[in-house]
Structure 1
């Protein structure tokens, strides 16, 4: 439902909206809801929007088609809404056309509510006459080719141009049964069904074998037909239409008849190909039995598949366990690879330490050689000291008065030598 309109008149609410899901054809729906305590007559009239003609509109036989009337310019619905009741009216649109939906669901040009006289209510609530030009039968198709769309529209009873002459301002009456050559007649709401006026005007008694046309002419001659009905009859009989318009209407009716014949031929062909309903039923039953056999086979197959699914589930569980073990094995392999890398690193470190140890040992040998050299030098110094001591004793014995200066010099030299020896010894110790 894309658009909707609400209006209210004298206790009756109208909801009008576009519907393209509920029905086979796109439709405009009117819903009337009354909160009055008595039945009311409702009349809704709309001027057809530009670009939409009578041939684009249809009415469904099961959705109050008799309540509608259609002219070339106006669409009218008349019906009775029961006390505290609801009434629904629907007209369909051709699906192969584009329409202004906002314009179609606009407020009606006329929305009238009145309480009817109980004596004037129809025998069946909600039943009104068809639009002029209808003989009481549904049109099988529109004046287009018999495509699927045309047949669907035909099922909804598209009025076409044959209904274009109906006048919604004329009073309604129940449809008169007659032949296709007899014009549809109407009478006013206050006109008795027998053709007599309420004031006991002159009446025409029908004679045996007298046709409806003869009686109508007689009524016209004596003046028992109102001016309004005279104008209506004049329009219906072609008094105000050019001859070409009548020919066009006849051609449209002939085209509709041809479409209906084609539809009937298609139905006969379908029956010839598909057979009668009993044959179709037997065929369906046979196919149903075969389907039941196939279903049983399928159920057996499903049971086998269920067992296989159990085995597959066990296999999946085993596969999951193996996958877990494989994952653990991969983890162990990764740890082993890491250990191998660590061992290789340790080997490299060991080789480096061995090289460093060799270097240290070589340095130690060098230090030892240096210590031995220093020790040899120290030994030489010690011998020199001893020699100096002996020389000192000798000089002391030989010294005379003047030797003390020489002795002081020698002692100074000796102290220097001792300091050098101490320094050298400390160096060797370090």
Structure 2
């Protein structure tokens, strides 16, 4: 077996020291993803869609997907046919995935709250869904009907009144998106689906377009994972549209002690490495024996998996590695600094260890909760922050599609009671007009009271 296909994975030995956050962020493996460089390629695509609309989308499909769809909007009968042709086992799995996702996401719905600040003074926080969202589902090295579920379910439960899905056209399927993606849309009741991929899909949602009498209205928010060009388009268009995140290559980190099963650990590292040659797979452990056993298990599993070359490339890349630490306290420092998209805990008293995790997109606790469960049927959402963004951002949820609006209601007496403070602060900031707006209503208030 060649070294490139042996499951070789780099090592980083931190034993004998406890690095601080700054050193850890510099030392830990991470994929090199230059979104700024991708912007150079994406900008003319986005601007072309802005200027020419549908013709630009067709041209981009021929250029990047190798096929132009028969129409940009997928007809209802094509969606229905895809659902009818779905393998019964896959249909049952998708239906269960939808059911579990709905159960979990239903508990995320927020309710309006009114706070009485003083007599006659109230502030209500009202939660309002965005008016329209564009949901992107990738279709490159793999197709992801599960991503339809993860995008659509929280948007529907948030009460978004208008949503559309876009996914790349496929040469093998007559220029339509993959049938499993179309079937998932049909099962979820999504009727507005477009055969558009990549950065051009984000631009199409941002600006809107018209094709053969069908109008795609501009979206207020665009969500969903994608490649570096999708991320670059989101960055370029953020402000015109809201975005969930600039998703990068998938990541798995595993914190494990000597009691972990090396076969489970190796299988889970491979499961995420098969997504993409840039996928990150990181094991953090205080057991050199476990590290050696995982390395041996990887060699066997990489040789026997379907996407051997892709997995081996991901494991051997600078974004992957085995990190050796003195103990689990340092291990927690490492995984919190890394802030993985997916973090598994394979330790004694895994739940207690997991409770100390502060930065991760999702945490999978113990032997029986692999990341692949979360990818499909745990009920959790698999659209998660990558590239360390879990240190400050959350995964996709019902809240992603809601806006909090403060509604302020004050009586005359309530304004009179606080008006002097408003006048004082307005004068302190040299904005006298702010104070005068109060004095025009209650002219007898005194500054400071």
TM over 0.5: no
The structure whose residues are more often strand, as a share, is 2
> Bigger relative contact order, structure 1 or 2, given CA contacts below 8 A and separation 6+?
2
Higher Cα Rg, which structure: 1
Higher share of residues assigned helix: 1
TM-score, normalised to structure 1, is 0.23
Give the structure-2-normalised TM-score: 0.22
